[in-house]
Amino acid sequence: MDWQAATDNGAGRIGMAINELRAISTFVTAAELGSLRKTAAALNISPQAASQALAQLEQHLNVRLFHRTTRSMALTDEGRRFLEEAQPSLYGLQRALRTVKQAKDEVAGPLRIVGPRSTFQPVLWRLIDEFCQRYPGVVPDVQLEDRVGNWVEDRVDVGFRLGLSPHEGLIARRLFPVQLIVCAAPGYLKAHGAPDTIAALQSHRCSAFRNPGTGQIVPWRLKTGDDEVQQPVVPAICSNDEILELHAVVAGRVIGQLAGVTAAPYIRSGQLVPLLVDHIPDRYSYFVYYGSRNAQPMRARAFIDLVIERLVDNSEYVLSMKELRAAARGSRVVSS
């Protein structure tokens, strides 16, 4: 059998199963109401359609299910036995359909969320905290890791990542740009001075991030003109955890290149000073991704709406060039 024939045959079996289900529903309703006219009204179909459904079921089973006259109908012995077997199963199926329909429209139940471990934890927690206060019936199941997993196999409702998702068939919505900012604590600058060029970084104590997936040290990414270059650094400290790296930078032990979402509150409070601000790359953004909204449960749609409301172009996580230049002037004052 060729592929098209097999597909047509499969579609035919599905159609037959649906028609049989409709016919069984018509039969059970007719047995309960004892009238073809009442059955048609209860199922919102015509009397002719109800009669045809019963005839098709009898033909399919090759038995007579009703004794019918123009004014009345009564179950045969075969019909009574079929009703005893079919009625409980039909009611169970109807309950299952109602349960699934209600669950889809209810903002409750498990919500599977994936995202990067690095940089995004504080942002995500604030979203989850607010969402669960709104909808206490939702149970978040959050998996954070820097690798990109299989969206379907991992049963993801909503995902976040730096850059577009590599999986086809997903909807991606840009949230906010991610700046990669070279920065240092005032204490470091007072002791070691500030680098004024990319080349000057070689004479400074730098931190480096080790990719948890590959084990390789990630070079710093810096902008030169319209291009981006990868700048290797000799690490004075190396880690696969950005929070530890942040602590080392804030403590004044090293210069680090941190994501703007992580560094922004420390720069605004004066705990960190941005360096080489003209070389901050501007090609990265965070995205939220998800499947078709039409097939999603209400809890996923509600969470996506909150994400978009709170994060799209949120200035809290992005430093303007005016802010960066003003803060960078502090590096010259501290190191002089």
Model-wide pTM > 0.95: no
Higher pLDDT, 65 or 104: 65
What is the residue-averaged pLDDT of the chain? 84
What pLDDT score was predicted for residue 5?
Answer: 36
Q: Report the distance separating Cα 274 and Cα 266, nearest Å.
A: 10
Four-way CATH pick for 3-105: 2.40.50.140, 3.40.190.80, 1.10.10.10, 1.10.3470.10: 1.10.10.10
CATH 3.40.190.290 in the chain is located at 180-284+317-335
**What does the pLDDT average to over 73-99?**
82
| 29-46 tens-digit pLDDT | 888 888 888 888 888 889
DSSP per-residue string spanning 197-250: SSGGGGGS-EEEEE-TTT-PEEPEEEEETTEEEEE---EEEEES-HHHHHHHHH
User: What proportion of the chain, given as a percentage, has pLDDT over 70?
Assistant: 84
Handedness of CA 149, 150, 154, 157 (dihedral sign): positive
pLDDT at 279 over 90: yes
Higher pLDDT, 217 or 154: 217
What pLDDT score was predicted for residue 8?
Answer: 41
Long-range contacts made by residues 47-52, C-beta under 8 angstroms, separation at least 24? 50/26
CATH 3.40.190.290 fits 180-284+317-335, yes or no: yes
**What does the pLDDT average to over 84-88?**
85
